[in-house]
Structure 1
């Protein structure tokens, strides 16, 4: 989870500051809105994207795939339970989340009450809610909330109403609801508040541009905005304040070079490419595998000395049935060699950090399944051998949904799992002549 938060925040920060320094001052408002919303989505999903690029390296040992299952401990136990510190953090997170959910519901309910209890008028595919309270116009979803007396006395200028209608027709409230839901889940990340403010300002730019195109009087419209600045705000509604108004005044009269606008928008592509490269691409050193295949002759004899060897012809008829010790040297050469003991290998720091990603790897240490966070108690040098196996989709389970399973071995675990030269094989080997 910590890796997800870090990678997501890195993406949010980079994309946001690119917007602030290169796009916000450009009069490409619809593109900017799309950019901000897309940046949020990309930052939420980018930690889940993993692109592996394999780079073969000469003369470096790597983890090998062992097909002899007897080398892997059969009894795998799972370490369960959450430590008390994690429980406290989880409880605090859930408490804060519940408070924010209640806050959102209360605000939505407040809007619903205003809509239900006050008279309304249908106009321009929107609904105007006439309030008794002294308020300037504000918008939520398909509703414009205005003071009833001001509206009936025509005290609300057409420019301000057009501004609010633009918010409705552009569906700006859905942007704010979307980011509010994200903020409930990631309330601890201040970047989402910055994105919300940037989106709200972008919405005002869009509405201002539409009003000016329609009414053609910038100075009059600016004077109207100055007269409507107030301190009361509805956090889900489109509203006005002084700092935003100052920026809006600047943008109303700003001229933007078409070439500059195109170049800045085009720059978003290399920014996204760099993000994907640094956050999604895993450079995996695919080293040439090297295993210990040599097995001293005396060790082979000791390993197989209790094995019964049956030789058959093509049809399955038994030709001979001997103990291994009774075989000739030529017959012994037909017996497959004992399973090799894998060479000890060292993982890199990058591999070790990658294994901490719980969404990608299921981890076993010395045959015991553990949470990925347990790796924080170790160093790469604590392990003398590891196996990284890809798990195909049809073989994954609810308990282990990861695409990779990694077995890590300490010195003690390695000896227990692999150093079995002194143990003898048993049973029967059947050799069929071709």
Structure 2
């Protein structure tokens, strides 16, 4: 019965899309073709959006479209302060669709998409979900904050086969119930959600010595936060399918996603975006393998072209293949520095945490040039404090002032995410 219902949903989606002109399926096909073809296809798309921007968008007037380097790099604050100047005159107000995000700062950021861009984002979602093992029509357990504003109607959730999992109330009791529900469900299914919520599931399964979960989980996709290696490997072990991390944002869409080969690198969505990795304090490209600012040019947002948009995130290109980001470190504002002032990878926070199954939640905070705080939420007494401190001092410096604080809860942000890393010193 479950298989039959899944097929009906897939057929219903195809029928609705076909009645509307088949735009989404055409985009899905184009994405697959474009990723296979490579550079010539991307160069043409880039030239078209640059020419359109110069012809119809006030902020880009007078710029030569011959090279993307003629366009200045723009961040969220600049776009917010000059939003009207980014709107294309080729689109009337009723043709623009708002996309709003509060971002990591809590300050609202609104951009506008046109209908073709919206269809493109839907197609990107379908295509990259399929690369992770998910098929349209399958049940999707969606881990995020489900508020009155974003809670889909029951009928829409039924049609899309979405089962909401509210991360605000996600504790061991809720996870236990969820696992039982999943094991009693004969459907093919996938998981999509915040990495911090998926980590809670992984830690529960680990500390309860749960065996392999007996369910048909075909895909596990984390979003909005980096997926640490412990969570990635633990979910893969218990559910029997490779967990992957997706790099996306509201203002653009899906920018990159890990493959199901178990590697940590991210396949860039070269069909929809042009990606640059620029210096921390300059607009000069950095060498492959070196960390820099992730700067995005959107090929498909013609209503509000976003050219050389500084995402605020840090990452590096693969030294082996330009189509991949080797790492994505997260927000520039939350980078970690050792006691000498040198930038170090946030990977040091995640790499050894698999050892500490007693910890439910944790947060690493740098609050001074040599001052660090590790907040721990644990059900039982944590007897490995000295070991944890010694491990971190190996990376931060022997002269690090490293404290451990025990808390009842690491609070969620308004977005539903739980920050693992904060740098309050460099944000001052």
Give me the TM-score of the superposition, normalised by structure 2. Answer: 0.23
The structure carrying a bigger strand percent of its residues is 2
- Higher-RCO chain (CA-CA 8 Å, sequence separation at least 6): 1
Give me the TM-score of the superposition, normalised by structure 1. Answer: 0.22
The structure carrying a bigger helix percent of its residues is 1
